Chain A
């Protein structure tokens, strides 16, 4: 055992045999938490910054909208079409 500069006892491999509890916490708790925090920040950033997205099953209380590429056709009168087709679906 040799006395290392700084008052620590060095083992044969040259690694500080005496590691303080503060250093242990720093290496094994603070650094992993910091890494996790960085990833959480990057992944959750858009979730908090953007508007809440629609999820199936949630209430829809937005006002009804009707988009058309041809605004002339909206609100026109005349005999409505009776011969119709189409399909429906649920989710």
Chain B
């Protein structure tokens, strides 16, 4: 056997008919297989454009104000939605002081906004109520994305820019 000659293991040779679709036996005996590339698409209720709008609004509001805005979208329980939203806010721990949680439950048709100890000073309840009214107007039309973006923008405008220490 000369140097560089390919070694073929004839004993374990595979029958090309047994191979799955897109596979082939190469000259060296290796099995080369092509697989279809399936790009990831969001499987939730939002399109890619809507998700990117929400993401951009969240990032801009958080960066401009220094407040941790977050959006929860899911069930809040049927009895006490306020308590459920505050439990979610508890899970932020100490960061909850500088956070604003927007909890929306389309199933119960309720929106709860919880502000922390520091963010209550910067975004007073009256401003939050105004943002809620704007969001509700969008949600009534079935426009969840528009409601999130509008509410975030209003609260970020009210909070102003990040305070200088």
Contacts and interface: CB of A to CB of B under 8 A. Distances in A.
Contacts of B139: 56, 91
Nearest to B113: A86
Given A88-B82, A88-B113, A90-B136, A65 B44 contact: yes
A74 B92 contact: yes
B162 to A, nearest CB: 13
Interface in A54-82: 54-60, 62-70, 73-82
The residue among A78, A86, A87 with the most chain B CB atoms within 10 A of its own CB is: A86
Contacts of B81: 88
Nearest to A63: B74
Contact of A84 (B91, B115, B132, B136): B115
Interface string B105-116: 111011111111
Interface stretch (B3-11, B14-22, B27-35, B61-69): B61-69
Interface string B91-123: 111111101000001110111111111011001
Interface of B: 44-45, 47, 54-55, 58-59, 61-63, 68-75, 81-82, 85-86, 88-97, 99, 105-107, 109-117, 119-120, 123-125, 128-129, 131-133, 135-136, 139-142, 144
